[in-house]
Structure 1
Amino acid sequence: MPERSTKEMFNEIKKAHGAKEFMTKMQDNFIHTVPAEYLEELLKIKQTTKSEVIRQANLGATTGYQYFDGKRRPSRARMIALGFGFSLTVAELNTMLRRTGYAELYAKDEWDALVIFALNQKFDINRTDELLFRYGLGTITSDN
């Protein structure tokens, strides 16, 4: 069965008479990528190493490797940190967030808007954290 667009799936939800009907009919169209699987996929695409991504993401080695091994599930902020570790664009980071079950960056949210700005300016994670902190919004690495 060809993959359905989000709009098609939304319309199916609206037309469904019961949850079981919809869930059974559409189960092959749901995204079920666990973060560790997607991180492994990105390693191949970006041709980088776990250690380099963890270092660029400003994560502790133990925690970082646990994210890649699937022993721990990263928070949204930690996924964003990993996005910086992979040097992702805004579009690539939003794809990563969406595919791993997190909300995309939202331009109307102050914290997210500054992260979008930083990504577009090609800031590293430290400079991005400084920017967020300057505006009183916490940081990525403090998981606020």
Structure 2
Amino acid sequence: MKEKDTNDLTQELMSQASLTSYIKENSPYFSDLSIAELLNALYEHKSLSKAALARKAGMSEVYLHQVFSGRRNPSRDRLICLCVGLSASLEETQRLLKQAGYAQLYTKNKRDAIISYGILHQNELAEINDNLFAQNEKTLF
């Protein structure tokens, strides 16, 4: 089966007469992974403990375990903190934000540009927050 990208799916959606047909034909392409599943998959490739991740992400271990077990859904800022703690790439961060139903980082937004810069340059969370504070923007926590 040929992989369809978002543009392909959008074109089909626009030209499809029946929503039911569209969903039936394209169901294999819908992403149904939870945030917890995506975070766990990303975490598996990292060599750090959950305690270290909690420290790097600026959150308690209890909260972190609740997110990873799927019992809590992190806010957009908390999800970004987790991505920073996991040293996720900007692409991985954008995918997680999108899957969670949050706005992706938008570089025309000053705050998002500062956060994106920090992610691209693998800055620690404290440094990203310092840059946000210095630019009179809301910090991540």
TM-score under structure 2 normalisation?
A: 0.89
C-alpha displacement of 1:40? 1.0
Conserved 8 A contact 1:50-1:68: no
How far apart are the structure 2 equivalents of 1:72 and 1:2? 35
Q: Does 1:108 align with 2:111?
A: no
Residue 62 of structure 2 aligns with which residue? 62
Conserved 8 A contact 1:33-1:100: no
How far apart are the structure 1 equivalents of 2:43 and 2:121? 23
Tell me the matched-pair count.
141
How far apart are the structure 1 equivalents of 2:24 and 2:52? 41
Letter in 2 for 1:35: I
TM-score under structure 1 normalisation?
A: 0.87
Residue 13 of structure 1 aligns with which residue? 13
How far apart are the structure 2 equivalents of 1:96 and 1:28? 19
Fraction of identical pairs, as percent: 27
* Runs (5+) with no aligned partner, structure 1: none
Secondary structure of 2:2's aligned partner: coil
The CA RMSD over aligned residues, in Å, is: 1.7
| 1:82-137 deviation line (CA, Å, top 9, x unaligned) | 01110122223223323444332111111110101122333211111121122222
| 1:22-77 deviation line (CA, Å, top 9, x unaligned) | 22221221112211111111121123322221110001222111101110011111
Letter in 1 for 2:97: L
How far apart are the structure 2 equivalents of 1:11 and 1:124? 40
Residue 40 of structure 2 aligns with which residue? 40
Letter in 1 for 2:31: I
C-alpha displacement of 1:15? 0.5
Q: In 2 relative to 1, CA 100–3 (structure 1 residues): closer, same or farther, beyond 3 Å?
A: farther
* Runs (5+) with no aligned partner, structure 2: none
